[in-house]
């Protein structure tokens, strides 16, 4: 006999809210309905294993079908099914969890694999439907049930003529949501949300033996790492992320204690070496997709990777899409970070050559991770490497070690404290931010037997250098190669006020400091130096839109250069011309010239050519 009743909710205004706002993404409804079907199958399989019902040998699966004429989308499973009483309990009483009731009843037998934690998932169907029907028959010897509601707080329930065990949800799609009657749209949603669910999912099942499931029921990350081949890892990466560049290497997570966690994190080849490229880490719960890049589980810097994480123990809230605050989540996050660090350390120690080959692709990730996560920095600080001026990779410890003295660092003078003990020696480590622009400085360093680190990523290296100085204030400080004249570059200290005056008059810039030095390299007439701290402040101001112009520069005039030495023998016009040309050449080696500076340089060069060919 057909009966009618009211859906039991705490407020009559709840249904419109549920229909419109329960989920952040409307298309999640399909995941919820299919996941409920998978839950029903998992429960049935558990009962079979416990001997409470017989296995008839049929394939346990979920079938999805679209009927454009009837404007319906149906999801059918052959799982445990429901009795009339269970429909009343699990469907009409919103937020009464069928999964938790089942687990409570059968907790001694174990409930692994049950996805649903809440009774609201079914009602996501009303986000796209004007009416929903349920046809269900329990594994118990009880009549089948037909339930129907238009989502306006009322429903009807009666016996059904369904003869097969399981449940069929029929969603009558509303006119404004008719895109969900397109099989290609449904196929895409299944690929997005259901691609790893543990039982086969079919679309438009025909039963002729040619049907192919749309999901992979045993994805690679669920297997033991020992049973996975390199080819399988690469194929899984390509299929999952549609990236046809082979990954550099990967970390396979597989643990059962103190929490359950499986997954694979891939280190991708970066398309742009300079930028921090965001990857995609997909979070699953019992092979059901939750969301991409959930920061509570996946630390921010790990989101530069591509990967799949499956953790049945994460505490989900009502929509499965957001995490509740929980200490276990923090433990999971720390464990994932530790496993990634362990992989990097093992690669560094066991295959240094491959590690160095990969460094250009993983450097941004590691540096960003160190800045964002102190624990990660503590683990990997000794495996951070830097390319030097000769293309060799070294760790920072190798740069500042006593063996490197005089080659790539400058020792600061030791100061005695009040007790007469020497303070730790702070070493200046030189670095290059642009090998092309700073080529002249690099040449000077090489000729003087000096070395420097190459830190040429404008997005991360300036921050990372400051970070390192903060982390090791008693060991090292950093200076760009054009920040100062290292003692090894000088022939001897020298001052020439006459030469200084010639340049001051020729350039006419009161903000420019002019110094004279005798450098070992006599081929270079002058170079530009900029104080390291002031330049950093200026660059930081540019980033935050508070720039006050370029930092003050110092022009180092090389008294060892023949052209500079002959200036005193020239008349005033030639002195000004030559001095300004030397200044422009020094600027050209330091930065990109302004339009005015470029024009002046070209004009001077043309004049020199004219004089030369007379």
If residue 492 lies in a helix (H) or strand (E), which one and from where to where?
Answer: strand 490-492
Query: Between 1.10.540.10, 3.40.50.1220, 3.30.230.80, 3.40.50.1820, what CATH number should domain 220-380 receive?
Result: 3.30.230.80
pLDDT at 115: 43
Place 74 in a pLDDT band, splitting at 50, 70 and 90.
very high
Flag the least confident range among 84-88, 265-269, 533-537: 533-537
- Measure the CA angle with vertex 108, ends 107 and 114; round to 5°: 35
Whether residue 11 is predicted with pLDDT greater than 70 in this model: the reply is no
For the segment 216-242, the average pLDDT, to the nearest whole number, is: 95
Query: Of residues 493 and 582, which shows the higher confidence score?
Result: 582
pLDDT at residue 96 is higher than 80: no
Residue ranges per domain, the chain? 3-203, 220-380, 384-481, 487-530+543-614
The answer to whether residue 238 scores a pLDDT higher than 50 is yes
pLDDT in tens, 369-378: 999 999 999 9
Residue 421: pLDDT band (50, 70, 90) is: low
pLDDT, averaged across the chain: 85
**Mean pLDDT, to the nearest integer, of 16-38?**
78
Residue 101's pLDDT is what?
55
Beta bridge partners of residue 94, listed in sequence order: none
Between residues 127 and 229, which one has the greater pLDDT? 229
Question: Do 301 and 373 meet the contact criterion of CB atoms below 8 Å apart?
Answer: yes
Look at phi and psi of residue 242 and say left if phi exceeds 0, alpha if psi is from -120 to 50, else beta.
Answer: left
CA dihedral of residues 502, 507, 509, 512 (deg, nearest 10): -70
Q: Residue 97 has what pLDDT?
A: 46
Q: Which helix (H) or strand (E) holds 5?
A: strand 3-6
Query: Residue 410: its pLDDT value, please?
Result: 56
Put the strands of the sheet holding 306-310 in their side by side order: 249-255, 261-267, 306-310, 280-285, 288-292
Half-sphere exposure of 384 toward its Cβ, with a 13 Å CA cutoff?
Answer: 25
Greater confidence (134 vs 473) lies with 134
Confidence of residue 153 (pLDDT cuts 50, 70, 90): confident
pLDDT digits (tens, 9 = 90+) for 280-292: 899 898 898 888 8
For residue 103, pLDDT beyond 50:
no
Q: Where are the beta strands (DSSP E) in 68-165?
A: 72-77, 129-137, 144-149, 154-160
pLDDT at residue number 114: 42
How confident is the model at residue 191, as a pLDDT?
93
Q: Answer yes or no: are the C-beta atoms of 98 and 51 closer than 8 Å.
A: no
Alpha-carbon distance of 400 to 387, in angstroms, equals: 14
pLDDT range class, residue 422, cuts 50, 70, 90: low
Peptide bond just before 240 cis, omega within 30 deg: no
What is the gyration radius of the CA atoms in the chain, in angstroms? 35
The domain 487-530+543-614 is placed in CATH, from the list 3.40.1010.10, 3.40.50.300, 2.60.40.1930, 1.20.120.790, at 1.20.120.790
61 contacts 46 by C-beta, under 8 angstroms = no
Q: What is the SS3 assignment for 137? A: strand
pLDDT over 60 at 109, yes or no: no
d(CA 91, CA 346): 52
Q: How far apart are CA 474 and CA 423, in angstroms?
A: 8
Please state the pTM of the whole predicted model: 0.80
The DSSP bridge pattern shows strands 453-454 and 427-432 to be parallel
Question: pLDDT by residue (tens digit) across 445-488?
Answer: 998 888 999 998 888 999 999 999 999 888 888 999 999 888 88
Instruction: Look at residue 320 and tell me whether its pLDDT is greater than 90.
Output: no
Q: How confident is the model over 220-236, as a mean pLDDT?
A: 95
Q: CATH classification of 3-203 is 3.30.565.10, yes or no? A: yes
For 24, 167, 289, 324, the CA distances from 320, given in Å and listed in that order, are 11, 22, 9, 10
Nearest to 25 by CA among 239, 199, 192, 196: 192
pLDDT at 138: 96
CA 287 to CA 511: how far, in whole Å? 65
pLDDT at 15: 61
Model confidence band, residue 412 (pLDDT cutoffs 50, 70, 90)? low
- Please state which of the ranges 57-61, 222-226, 399-403 shows the lowest mean pLDDT: 399-403
Are 98 and 119 in contact by the 8 Å Cβ rule? The answer is yes
pLDDT score, position 611: 80
Chain centroid to Cα 465, Å, comes to 21
Distance (Å, whole) CA 267 – CA 254: 18
CA angle 187, 190, 193 (to 5 degrees): 150
User: 63: closest CA among 208, 214, 203?
Assistant: 203
What percent of the chain is modeled with pLDDT above 70? Answer: 84
CA distances from 326 to 103, 117, 296, 314, 323 (A): 21, 16, 9, 9, 8
Long-range CB pairs of 149-153, under 8 A, 24+ apart, other chains included: 149/7, 151/15, 151/19, 151/123, 151/126, 152/15, 153/6, 153/7, 153/9, 153/12, 153/15
Is pLDDT at 547 greater than 80 in this prediction?
A: no
Query: H/E element holding 543?
Result: helix 532-543
Beta bridge partner(s), residue 168: 76, 135
DSSP assignment letter at 574: H
Please say if the pLDDT value at position 498 is more than 90. Answer: yes
Q: Which of 3, 11, 22, 10 is nearest to 125 (CA)?
A: 22
Q: How far apart are CA 147 and CA 169, in angstroms?
A: 10
Is the CB of residue 44 less than 8 Å from the CB of residue 77? no
């Amino acid at each position: 006999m057909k009966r009618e009743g009211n859906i039991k909710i705490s407020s009559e205004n709840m249904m419109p809210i549920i229909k419109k706002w329960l989920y952040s993404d409307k298309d999640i409804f399909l995941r919820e309905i299919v996941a409920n079907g998978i839950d029903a199958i998992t429960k049935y399989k558990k009962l079979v294993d416990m001997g409470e019902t017989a296995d008839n040998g049929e394939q346990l699966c979920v079938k999805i079908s679209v009927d454009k004429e009837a404007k319906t989308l149906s999801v059918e499973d052959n799982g445990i099914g429901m009795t009339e009483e269970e429909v009343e309990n699990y469907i009409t009483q919103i937020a009464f969890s069928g999964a938790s009731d089942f687990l409570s009843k059968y907790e001694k037998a174990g409930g692994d694999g049950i996805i649903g934690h809440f009774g609201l998932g079914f009602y996501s169907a009303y986000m796209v439907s004007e009416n929903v029907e349920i046809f269900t028959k329990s594994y118990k010897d009880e009549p089948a049930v037909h339930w129907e509601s238009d989502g306006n707080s009322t429903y009807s329930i009666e016996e059904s003529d369904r003869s097969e065990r399981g449940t069929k949800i029929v969603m009558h799609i509303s006119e404004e949501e008719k895109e969900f009657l397109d099989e290609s749209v449904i196929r895409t949603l299944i690929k997005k949300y259901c691609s790893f669910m543990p039982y086969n999912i079919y679309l438009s099942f025909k039963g002729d033996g040619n049907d192919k499931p749309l999901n992979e029921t045993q994805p690679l990350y669920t297997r033991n790492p020992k049973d996975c081949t390199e080819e399988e890892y690469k194929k899984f990466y390509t299929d999952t992320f549609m990236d046809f560049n082979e990954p550099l290497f990967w970390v396979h997570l597989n643990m059962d204690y103190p929490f359950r966690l499986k997954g694979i994190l891939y280190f991708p080849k970066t398309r742009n070496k300079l930028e921090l490229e965001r990857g995609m880490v997909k979070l699953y719960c019992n092979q059901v997709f939750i969301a991409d890049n959930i920061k509570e589980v996946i630390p921010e810097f790990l989101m530069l990777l591509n990967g799949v994480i499956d953790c049945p123990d994460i505490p989900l809230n009502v929509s499965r899409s957001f995490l509740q605050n929980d200490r276990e989540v923090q433990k999971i996050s720390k464990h994932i970070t530790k496993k990634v660090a362990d992989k990097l350390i093992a690669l560094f120690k066991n295959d240094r050559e491959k590690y160095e080959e990969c460094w250009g692709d993983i450097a941004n990730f590691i540096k960003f991770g160190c800045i964002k996560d102190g624990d990660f920095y503590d683990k990997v600080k000794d495996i951070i490497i830097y390319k030097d001026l000769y293309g060799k990779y070294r760790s920072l410890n190798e740069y500042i070690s006593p063996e490197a003295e005089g080659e790539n660092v400058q020792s600061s003078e030791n100061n005695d404290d009040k007790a007469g003990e020497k303070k730790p020696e702070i070493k200046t480590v030189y670095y290059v931010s642009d090998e092309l622009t700073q080529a002249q400085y690099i040449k000077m360093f090489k000729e003087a037997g000096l070395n420097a680190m190459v830190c040429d990523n404008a997005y991360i290296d300036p921050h990372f250098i400051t970070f390192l100085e903060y982390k090791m204030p008693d060991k090292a400080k950093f200076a760009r190669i054009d920040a100062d004249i290292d003692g090894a570059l000088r022939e001897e200290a020298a001052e020439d006020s006459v030469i200084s005056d010639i340049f001051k008059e020729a350039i006419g810039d009161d903000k420019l400091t002019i110094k004279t030095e005798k450098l070992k390299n006599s081929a270079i007439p002058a170079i530009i130096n900029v104080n390291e701290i002031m330049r950093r402040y200026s660059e930081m101001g540019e980033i935050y839109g508070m720039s006050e112009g370029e930092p003050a520069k110092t022009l180092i005039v090389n008294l060892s250069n023949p052209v500079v030495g002959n200036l005193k023998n020239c008349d005033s016009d030639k002195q000004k011309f030559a001095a300004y040309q030397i200044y422009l050449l020094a600027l050209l080696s330091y930065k990109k010239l302004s339009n005015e500076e470029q024009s002046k340089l070209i004009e001077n060069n043309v004049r020199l050519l004219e004089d030369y060919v007379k």
